[in-house]
Amino acid sequence: MDYIISKKSTNFSGTIKIPGDKSISHRALIIGSMSIGKSKITGLLESEDVFSTMTALKKLGVKIQHSNNSYIVEGLGIAGFKAPTEYIDLGNSGTGIRLLLGAIMGSNIIVNFKGDASLSKRPMQRVLKPLKLMGADILTSNKGKLPISIKSPKEALAIKYISKISSAQIKSAILLSGLSASGKTKYIEPIKSRDHTEKMLSKFGANISTKTLSNGSNLIELNGRPNLIGNDISVPSDPSSVAFPLVSAIIIPNSKIEIHNVMMNSTRNGIFETLQEMGAKIKIFNEKRVDSENTASIYAEHSRLRGIIVPSERSPRMIDEYPILSIAAACAKGNTIMNGVSELRVKESDRIKIVSDGLNKAGIKTIEKNDSLEVFGGEIEGNCTIDSELDHRIAMSFLILGLVAKNPIKVLRPSTIYTSFPNFFDIMLNLGAKLVRA
């Protein structure tokens, strides 16, 4: 698929189910691999990123089988990974590489990691620095970027690490590494980031606790060398994927949508709150508990949106949703200012720049600063071509912009969408989106 053209649509409606959460899927495979006994995962996201992690784990000696809609992982225990005989390629997956760098600690092996053009540009120093303090030997790395050759120690050293960035990937790498340490690993982040690793480690038997400190930062403490025991995991739908059809229904005239079994973790639901503040008619109902996560159903319909200021403290709770929020902002009355978003510059692409440039091409005014993006809602001309830059969320966001633009929008290299949302096209077409593949 070289490109997709998206065209003005109406009546974008239906009831849908979205695939499993990407963050939980990576963690279920990795933590299952580090446990004793079998783990059964149902609802695993079957996307390229998750398959990259699965292939990596197989190369590290883990047996993973697919049977009856589930994946069975036969864990090797903590520090049980085997030295791979070839390069491990994580493709486009930042979560895959950063979590695995931590997970192999304690296994006393040399591993050579690489990734695709997008992943090879992304900073790994943020994970390599604490892992070096925990005993890793970085044999080669191109200025803290992939490809990386790393030697993990026999046992990680327990550290106390204060991170300046709220990043679940850094946090998870350190916690997974801390599993093989004999002492207590402590990690402090400025604002709580997604907590799936903490929840899953606790479910698998680790002694792990979380506390908000007096200055608002988040402290996690993990006792090393727990007995992690294989477990069953049911993966709820990914709220980050849900955001794409949800925003489509809100901005396309005569639309209504219902989505079931959506993960409602309080570290992930900032987008729903933000859209509601903008005036979106969203109802959340049927709340349930599935494993260690909460889920709910969501209903939304076409709504008149207004511009708002999105506070920086909210960014960790919706870090992946700014591209699609910017599309909603382009359709709103007035301007929307998104503060505290500098981390977007080191995602699968520089999302502040790519979103800003793309919106300008489509006829929408923006102001781009290092740490913020302002979008002025207005007439969307369209009639432009946007390259995905190998960033799935850029591709999906601009395809959705085309559904409300006066003229079509062409998105180049859209196959990157398979990294996170394999049935995006089918779901969007069934709901009534005019998307033409070429």
- Among the listed residues 189, 238, 320, 374, the single contact to ligand S3P using CB under 6 A: 320
Stretch that binds ligand S3P, among 164-172, 247-255, 260-268, 284-292 (CB under 6 A): 164-172
Do the beta carbons of residue 193 and residue 316 sit within 8 Å? yes
Q: Which C-beta is closer to ligand S3P: that of 172 or that of 295?
A: 172
The helix or strand, by DSSP H or E, that contains position 70, with its residue range, turns out to be strand 70-76
Per-residue interface string for the shown chain with ligand S3P, residues 325-354, x marking contact by CB under 6 A: ------------------x-----------
Instruction: Say whether 21 is catalytic.
Output: no
Q: Give, rounded to a whole angstrom, the gap between the first and last alpha carbons of the chain.
A: 6
Angstrom CA distances, 374 to 147, 280, 326, stand at 35, 19, 9
Q: Which C-beta is closer to ligand S3P: that of 47 or that of 172?
A: 172
Cβ burial, residue 391 (10 Å; 0-12/13-18/19+): buried
As measured in angstroms, the least distance from the Cβ of 285 to ligand S3P is: 27
Angle between helices 48-59 and 94-103 in degrees, nearest 10: 20
- Asked if 169 touches ligand S3P (CB under 6 A), the answer is yes
Do the beta carbons of residue 363 and residue 377 sit within 8 Å? no
CB under 8 Å to 381, separation ≥6 — which residues?
362, 363, 405, 406, 407
Beta bridge partners of 71: 41, 66
Binding to ligand S3P in span 66-125, by CB under 6 A: 95
State whether residue 66 is helix, strand or coil.
strand
As measured in angstroms, the least distance from the Cβ of 256 to ligand S3P is: 28
- Asked if 168 touches ligand S3P (CB under 6 A), the answer is yes
As measured in angstroms, the least distance from the Cβ of 380 to ligand S3P is: 26
- Asked if 319 touches ligand S3P (CB under 6 A), the answer is yes
As measured in angstroms, the least distance from the Cβ of 194 to ligand S3P is: 6
Token look-up 């005569």 returns 254
Binding to ligand S3P in span 17-36, by CB under 6 A: 23
Per-residue interface string for the shown chain with ligand S3P, residues 187-206, x marking contact by CB under 6 A: -------x------------
User: Strand pairing of 137-142 and 110-114?
Assistant: unpaired
Q: Which of 321, 262, 271 is nearest to 20 (CA)?
A: 262
As measured in angstroms, the least distance from the Cβ of 67 to ligand S3P is: 26
Q: Which C-beta is closer to ligand S3P: that of 23 or that of 366?
A: 23
Give the tokens for residue 111.
């591993």
Stretch that binds ligand S3P, among 163-171, 244-252, 257-265, 350-358 (CB under 6 A): 163-171
Which residues in this chain contact ligand S3P in the complex, by CB under 6 A? 23, 95, 167-169, 172, 194, 319-320, 343
Residues assigned a catalytic role: 320
